[in-house]
């Protein structure tokens, strides 16, 4: 990667050594663009905080498959409307064959990845930037065995148009502890990175 102008803000890039141990504090780098774009209306979405949404629902275990990989989602989510999230898995049960991998989600007005009544979902290698409200959101506390790996979530912002908890948002809002979180990165959240709210 080559930069064509100086950066506006400090971006620290160093691994500091303390005795025989170290802490790696290098700046995060994520790619926000993809060739295939799912987006809200570019002219009105931001003004109205009203963008595109994906809603997935079907009755019973493994009754649907959602396989999303390497697409871009922008101007997504609809503020003031519960349930209108960028991607919403709604009351499906087990989804062994479903995944969202390598997505780039940015400028979201109403959360980003919502897992509601859904188990065994894979969320992997996603980048999310500038989302209002909890960014990865495990809704009801019954959700278990979802695998959430290698995601980069940056700049999660407060939302005044969702529930109270979204005024103190987290990159990962975890209501059931029996889910797996491996090698995720969260930076610049307004309040929390990983919030086990039990």
Q: How far apart are CA 160 and CA 110, in angstroms?
A: 10
Contact range with other proteins by CB under 8 A, out of 41-49, 95-103, 104-112, 180-188: 180-188
Nearer to other proteins, 110 or 176 (CB): 176
Beta strands (DSSP E) in 109-166 are 113-119, 122-124, 127-131, 136-138, 147-149, 152-154
Q: Which residues pair with 24 in a beta bridge?
A: 15
Q: At closest approach, how far in Å is the CB of 153 from other proteins? A: 10
Residues 115-174 that bind other proteins (CB under 8 A): 116-117, 139-142, 144-145, 168, 170-171
Decide: is 7 part of the binding site for other proteins (CB under 8 A).
no
Q: Which of 7, 12, 35, 164 lies at the binding interface for other proteins (CB under 8 A)?
A: 12
Q: Which residues pair with 128 in a beta bridge?
A: 105, 153
Decide: is 189 part of the binding site for other proteins (CB under 8 A).
yes
Q: How far apart are CA 30 and CA 146, in angstroms?
A: 23
Decide: is 93 part of the binding site for other proteins (CB under 8 A).
no
Count CB-CB contacts under 10 A for residue 163.
10
Residues 26-65 that bind other proteins (CB under 8 A): none
Count CB-CB contacts under 10 A for residue 42.
10
Nearer to other proteins, 12 or 164 (CB): 12
Q: Which of 14, 67, 96, 97 lies at the binding interface for other proteins (CB under 8 A)?
A: 14
Nearer to other proteins, 41 or 197 (CB): 197
Contact range with other proteins by CB under 8 A, out of 53-61, 120-128, 129-137, 181-189: 181-189
Residues contacting other proteins: total by CB under 8 A: 44
* Angle formed at CA 103 by CA 98 and CA 105, multiple of 5 degrees: 125
Q: How far apart are CA 91 and CA 111, in angstroms?
A: 17
- Are the C-beta atoms of 54 and 88 separated by less than 8 Å? yes
Q: How far apart are CA 152 and CA 161, in angstroms?
A: 24
Q: At closest approach, how far in Å is the CB of 23 from other proteins? A: 5
Which stretches of the chain bind other proteins, using CB under 8 A? 12, 14, 16, 18, 21, 23-25, 91, 116-117, 139-142, 144-145, 168, 170-171, 175-198
């Amino acid at each position: 990667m080559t930069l064509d102008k100086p950066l506006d803000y400090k971006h620290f890039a160093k691994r500091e050594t303390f005795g025989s141990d170290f802490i790696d504090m290098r700046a995060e780098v994520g790619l926000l663009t993809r060739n295939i774009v799912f987006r809200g209306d570019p002219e009105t979405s931001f003004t109205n905080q009203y963008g595109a949404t994906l809603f997935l629902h079907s009755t019973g275990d493994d009754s649907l498959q959602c396989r999303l990989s390497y697409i871009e989602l922008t101007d997504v989510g609809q503020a003031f409307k519960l349930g209108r999230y960028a991607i919403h898995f709604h009351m499906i049960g087990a989804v062994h064959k479903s995944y969202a991998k390598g997505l780039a989600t940015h400028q979201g007005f109403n959360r980003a990845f919502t897992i509601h009544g859904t188990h065994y979902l894979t969320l992997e290698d996603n980048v999310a930037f500038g989302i209002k409200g909890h960014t990865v959101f495990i809704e009801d506390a019954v959700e278990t065995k979802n695998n959430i790996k290698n995601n980069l979530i940056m700049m999660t912002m407060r939302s005044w148009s969702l529930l109270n908890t979204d005024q103190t948002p987290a990159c990962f809002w975890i209501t059931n502890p029996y889910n797996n979180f491996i090698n995720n990165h969260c930076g610049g959240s307004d309040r929390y990175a990983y919030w086990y709210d039990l």
